[in-house]
Structures are given as structure tokens and as C-alpha cells.
Amino acid sequence: MTQVIVLNGGSSSGKSGIIRCLQAVLPDPWLALGTDTLVEAMPMSMQTADGGVEFAADGAVIVGPGFRTLEAAWIEGIAAMARAGARVVVDEVFLGGADSQQRWRTALSGLRVLWVGVRCDGAVAAGREVARGDRTIGMAVSQAEVVHQGVTYDLEVDTTRAESMECARTIAARVE
Amino acid sequence: MTQVIVLNGGSSSGKSGIIRCLQAVLPDPWLALGTDTLVEAMPMSMQTADGGVEFAADGAVIVGPGFRTLEAAWIEGIAAMARAGARVVVDEVFLGGADSQQRWRTALSGLRVLWVGVRCDGAVAAGREVARGDRTIGMAVSQAEVVHQGVTYDLEVDTTRAESMECARTIAARVE
Amino acid sequence: MTQVIVLNGGSSSGKSGIIRCLQAVLPDPWLALGTDTLVEAMPMSMQTADGGVEFAADGAVIVGPGFRTLEAAWIEGIAAMARAGARVVVDEVFLGGADSQQRWRTALSGLRVLWVGVRCDGAVAAGREVARGDRTIGMAVSQAEVVHQGVTYDLEVDTTRAESMECARTIAARVE
Amino acid sequence: MTQVIVLNGGSSSGKSGIIRCLQAVLPDPWLALGTDTLVEAMPMSMQTADGGVEFAADGAVIVGPGFRTLEAAWIEGIAAMARAGARVVVDEVFLGGADSQQRWRTALSGLRVLWVGVRCDGAVAAGREVARGDRTIGMAVSQAEVVHQGVTYDLEVDTTRAESMECARTIAARVE
């Protein structure tokens, strides 16, 4: 039985929409948690200051050591939830590519994980970033490729032309 | 010079995304106002009670006389903003079809208006409604067709396969 | 009959909470509109760039000529809504003190207006600014006094020690 | 060293504001997680349907077995985050009173926990519920007392007359 689904993709690639659809089509209840949940749980000061995460005006995301410490504990906690019986979909942005995946892989060891890459053409994601109106402009383009570097997946979906629901059904078909 | 752009379409047809893109691509600053702004401005009690607007569990929207009274004054106010020099994009859901358009047409008389229909296949809009996660399920399907009945447009866009940004550029090309 | 209630006060002084309570206790439905509505209606680019409104890191708010042009039309529109029969509560921050009030006074001429000052001790407002977590730190202190300079009111409420509901009842008692 | 702070109180008692202030005044970074985070992580269908959590029109909150299963895993995960080194503030509503506390106490065994009760007079909390405008009316009153039944605390704060920041400083003084 699949215990964890990890979706990795750049900002505005459509992960959150796919996850809400996944939660709707999968017969069991799945918890959806991710980078956004973690950042919102941090002190306001860490969202701009040294040691936290910073969203620069050009869309770059800078993450400091204080962030990494809390994130490591957060990942352990997600793994513990899955071991305690919750099925969890993780909404991630692997800014460090293969290194980011390795951190998750280690924490999730022993669990049955489905690794999913969410691709979206950078120019299309940039347009959606403008359309949603709640993200720093530039993040979509700057993350579109780097988050996938060296990362390996069980399956990949591409939202450039496929709807969230369609991607969700493709993923759901691989959940055991 | 175009003074008002009225976008009409069902829930989850993609109007808000198009409007944010329009605001980004049009050289002048345009104000974006619409049904959602009006509903948020109303007392909480009118969002469920008699006389207000009610979002039924099946997605139907029921609008009472109290709502219509405030809405009439709201429309007059939007027209006055345009006459006072603001360029305004209106985000509308013509639940009453041609009758709704007539209310706006009367209030906007003398102004140069671009009427835009925003279409989206009902099944696709229903999927996006699940993906966004903040709307009562069923609104997208129940509104997809009725809001266009008897309404006439200067141009129509269809978000079923076109991105918000692409639709915005199509509309912007018609703005004088 | 009172047609417009204008509430003026600094950021985090508690205006929005009072207004939601006012809408709940007043027997007629009132529309609540204000500076926040206007800013959200503007293009994203105007919320940071030249000509718009900028929230500096220290809490100062810088407003350019482009903002003033749209705001003037916005104020005319609110006045037109009131003349068309909607009762409107306006949520305002008179960054320009008496000059800001004069702009509203001119636009609202002929209408029956109740002018309400919302005071809050700067240090208390600063604490509430941290507690709410969605405002740039520093706005509360920098606006607490200046927004009242030269402004005249029909009544004033002070949220330093009074609850929003209590202030709302005080105001409601003066609405005719 | 205090590893977990658990704040328990009814809806609109002011817990979230206190927690944002706590995160601002405590020298180390603390993660803030709670019931709201858990509910948002659940499928939309569980927020109204059988087995999930339901917010009835009168403010009562009904929680089913499906909710309890995910919640148990969630609590284990929070405990694991704390054991892995993150300092965590938990924002809780003990609808089951002493039973709810026992669930947390068991999961957090071995960790240094500060238990904090957040009280607020029911009538005052009810007024704040109207003022905030994003909660079902009635929750504040229906939860004000029951969530504290049989629960034991290291300290209690009362927001009826004290500001969030003041309560936060009182709590921070007890954090080791």
C-alpha cells in the first residue's frame, strides 16, 4: 500500500491543484502537507530574515541554515505521521534538486513512496503566476528546471496542456 | 477610448485569472471590481439569509431582493467611477442572462464598453473547481451555460484550452 | 437618514472588526468598502511600483500620483452608490489628515455623513499588528497619530480598551 | 528546555494571535501548528461529510472517526518533530476536554511540555467572532467552557482584558 506520495515541481507548476483533485478522487482520506505549510508555521521574521527563507524581488528563493534545521525536523514528523497510519501527499519544491530528494528519501526509508514529478513549461507557468496574483513574479521561471535536476521519479505529469484533474487521475492509477 | 471591460462567465471559468493578466499587459492602470467584491462588501448575514445571496450545497446561487437593491446601487457606482476617469474591468456572473446584461447596459450608457464572454467547457470548469478548493462544488457546472443565455458580446474567449494570459492578450488587442 | 459612515483610523486600530460588528447590529444592510478594497482592485504592479502605493519595510506607506487619480474616481463612485440608495460604511486611513478628509467631504457633499475617528494607543496597535500577522510591522505606530491630524469627527471611539462590538454599538446609536 | 507549548482554548479566544506574538518574542524559532493546520490538510469532503469534521450552522463542531484516525497520526508526527529538535507551539481546541489532553499527553511523553490554558469570557469571544468575520457564529460561545473541562495547565492566560502580546510575554517568561 502506497503510504506517501511526494509531488515535486516548481512554483506555479500546478501541484496544489493536482493534490486537491487527488484528495477528491482517491477513495481513502489523504493528508496534504508541504513546503507552504512549513513556511506558514515559521515565525514571520524567518520569512524575510537571516536563517529563514527569503523571496527575493526577482523570484529567487534563498534558504538559510535556520530554515534547514526546522525543515529536517518537519520531514521527520511527516515520516512519523505516515508510519502512524496517515496517508500523506507531500507538496514539495526541491530547490536543491537531487540533494533535496535525498533528504526526503532518508527520512521516508521503509515507507512505500510514490515519487511524482510535476512539469510545466516555464513560459506557461510564468503566465499562470501572473494569473494567480499571489506569488512573487519570477519564481515560476527560476524554478521550472532546477527543481528536477538529478531527481528520479516513478512517474511524471506535465500540466502545460493537461488539466489538474487529468494529472490527478494519472497519479491515482499508480497508487496501491 | 475603452472605458469599461465587462467579463461575463460562470464560476471557475477563469475570469479572475484573465483579469489579473489584463491588468498586467494593459499599459494603463485598470481597476478590477466584480461580483465577488460586492458580496464581500455585504453583511455576513446577507451571504446566507433571506434577501441576500445564498450558495446552496448543490452549487446553485439564490439571490433575493435585498441583494438586487444593493447591486443596483453598486452598478451605478461602478459607472460613476468610469465617468470620473477610472478605467474599470468588471468581473461578472450574469445569473439572469440577458436581463443581467441589460441592467449593466443601462447603467453604463454613454460609456465605451467592451463586452467579453468567457466560456469554459462545463466538465473542465468542474475539474478546476475541485482543484482550486475554495468554491462550493457544483457552481461551475450549473452556471456554465445559463450565464450566456441571450447575452451579446464584442468578443468571446474560451479557457477550455487557452491560458489566461493568452485570453488576456486577445482581449487587450481589442481595447482602444 | 445617515447615508454614509466614514471610519478613519491607523492600521491595526480595529476599524475592520468594528465595521463587521456594525453590519451585524445595524438593522439595514450596509455595504463595507474601503482603502483595502481599492488597493486590491489595482494592478499588482501598482502595489509596489512608481505611481501606486508602496508599503516600505519600516511600515511607511508611500502613495504616488497614479494612485491618487484612481482613488479620486473611486471616491466619486462610492458617493454615487450612496446617492443611488446603498448605505455605505467606508473604512479609511487618512494618510494626508485634513486634506484626505476634504477630498471625501467634497465628493460626499449633499449626503448625510457620520464621521467617526477610531483611535488606538500606538503601542497597543503595534502589538495587535504582530498578533494578526498579515501587516508590515511598523505601519500601526507610524499611522496612529498622523491620520487624525486636523480631522474633525461626529464621534470618536477608542479600541485600546473597548471591544469592537462595544465600539460598534456606540456608533450604531448615532446612526439615524 | 521546553520542547512543546500546547495552547488550548475555545474558538475566538485569541490563541492564534498569542502564538504569533510568542513566535516574535521568543529568541529561538518555534513552529506553530494546530487544529486549523490539520483541518486544512484534510480532503475538502472531510470538512463536511461523515467521518470528518463538520461545522454546524449553530457553531457546534462534530468530529467523526475518520477525523480521529488522521488526528492520532498527526499528533504522533508533531511529537516526532519535537523529538527531532524543532520547538513547536501547538494551537489546540480540546473539544473532548480531559480526554483530548490525555491523547496529547501520551503522544508527547518524554518531552518537556508547557500546558497553557487560554480563557476568554464567552460573551466577549462571541463579539470577537463577529468582528473577525471568518468563523461560524456560535462556535465561540459553545466552546468557551467545555474545552477546559478536566484539563490541567502549567499556567492560564485570559484574553478578556489582556492583549495578545501581554499574554505572550507571560507565557514566554515560563519557557525554559
| pLDDT tens track for C92-116 | 999 999 999 999 999 999 999 999 9
The type of residue at A173 is: A
Query: Which residues 38-67 of C are in CB contact (within 8 Å) with B?
Result: 38, 41-46, 51-52, 66
C26 touches chain D (CB under 8 A): no
pLDDT of D121 above 90:
yes
D103 touches chain C (CB under 8 A): no
Q: Poorest-confidence range of B26-40, B157-171, C57-71? A: C57-71
Judge: A130–B24 Cβ closer than 8 Å, yes or no.
yes
Give percent of chain B with pLDDT exceeding 90. Answer: 84
A1 touches chain D (CB under 8 A): no
Predicted local distance difference test score (pLDDT) of residue C49? 54
Residue A151 CA to residue A8 CA, distance in Å, equals: 9
pLDDT of B81 above 90:
yes
Task: Give every residue of chain A whose pLDDT is below 50, as ranges.
Answer: none
Query: Which residues 128-157 of C are in CB contact (within 8 Å) with B?
Result: none
Judge: D20–C165 Cβ closer than 8 Å, yes or no.
no
B154 classed as catalytic: no
Predicted local distance difference test score (pLDDT) of residue B135? 86
> Which residue in the set C127, C133, C163 is minimally distant from D165, CB to CB?
C127
Q: Poorest-confidence range of B43-47, D46-50, D91-95, D124-128? A: D46-50
Mean pLDDT (whole number) for B113-124: 98
Mean pLDDT (whole number) for B25-39: 96
Confidence band (pLDDT; 50, 70, 90) for D51? low
ipTM of the complex: 0.93
The Cα of C44 is separated from the nearest Cα of chain A by a number of Å equal to 7
Predicted local distance difference test score (pLDDT) of residue A48? 66
Instruction: For residue D166, list chain C residues with Cβ-Cβ distance below 8 A.
Output: 127
Closest to C112 measured CA to CA, from C78, C77, C92, C87: C87
B24 touches chain A (CB under 8 A): yes
B4 pairs with which residues across the strands?
Answer: B88, B113
Closest to B24 measured CA to CA, from A100, C70, C47: C47
Maximum distance among all Cα pairs of chain C, rounded to whole angstroms: 43
Q: What is the DSSP string of chain A?
A: ---EEEEE--TTSSHHHHHHHHHHHSSS-EEEEEHHHHHHHS-GGGGTSTTSEEE-TTS-EEE-HHHHHHHHHHHHHHHHHHHTT-EEEEEE--TTTHHHHHHHHHHTTTS-EEEEEEE--HHHHHHHHHHH--S-TTHHHHHTTGGGTT---SEEEETTTS-HHHHHHHHHTT--
Confidence band (pLDDT; 50, 70, 90) for B87? very high
A163 touches chain B (CB under 8 A): yes
pLDDT of B2 above 70:
yes
pLDDT of D171 above 80:
yes
Question: How do the pLDDT tens digits run along chain C, 176 residues long?
Answer: 999 999 999 999 999 999 999 999 999 999 999 999 999 999 998 876 556 777 777 777 777 778 889 999 999 999 999 999 999 999 999 999 999 999 999 999 999 999 999 999 999 999 999 999 988 889 999 999 999 999 999 999 999 999 999 999 999 999 99
Residue C61 CA to residue C54 CA, distance in Å, equals: 6
The Cα of A141 is separated from the nearest Cα of chain C by a number of Å equal to 18
Instruction: For residue A59, list chain C residues with Cβ-Cβ distance below 8 A.
Output: none
Predicted local distance difference test score (pLDDT) of residue A58? 72
Give percent of chain D with pLDDT exceeding 70. Answer: 98
Mean pLDDT of chain B: 93
Contact A120, A12 (CB under 8 A): yes
* Of residues D64 and D135, more confidently modeled: D135
Confidence band (pLDDT; 50, 70, 90) for D64? confident
